[in-house]
Amino acid sequence: MKQLLLVILVCEMSFSFAQKPPTATLKSVLLEQLKTTHNKKDWFVPVNTAVEGLTAEQAMWKDSSGNHSVGQLTYHLVFWNTQSLAKLTGVKADVFSGNNEETFNNKLDKESWDNLVKKLDDVLTQLEKVVSAADD
């Protein structure tokens, strides 16, 4: 009986090792990267977690060395991801002067911060849907 159980166990282990994970495609890698930067925790904090619960005041805080605030970086991410989404979907993107500094908004209040956080989640969700629906 023990021998039979051992044979079954070895066969099950062999079968599980024989199953190969699906081959990664460009689409699957891109989708995974979009999700881990959006809302799926991996080896770094996703953006939804990073901005969750921040007040507008906290989001606009800047250190003394002149780095961008979380709010400015969020605005920047919304801008560029919206541009990318427009290109992927064939929609005309907003006019852009070419000055990247314009993509870092300096003024946020509670309402505009809450709207910006929602817009970031929305645009990242839309990007994931577009990539997911695309063929390889």
Per-range mean pLDDT, top range of 2-11, 88-97, 118-127: 118-127
pLDDT digits (tens, 9 = 90+) for 68-95: 999 999 999 999 999 999 999 999 988 8
Q: How far apart are CA 133 and CA 136, in angstroms?
A: 9
58, 55, 97, 51: which is closest to 78 by C-alpha? Answer: 51
pTM for this model (two decimals): 0.79
pLDDT of residue 6: 47
Question: Does 2 have pLDDT greater than 60?
Answer: no
What whole-number distance in Å separates Cα of residue 80 and Cα of residue 75? 9
Of 107, 100, 53, nearest to 79 (Cα)? 100
Beta strands in the chain (DSSP E): none
Question: What is the C-alpha separation between 30 and 21, in angstroms, rounded?
Answer: 17
Predicted confidence band of residue 129 (pLDDT cuts 50, 70, 90): very high
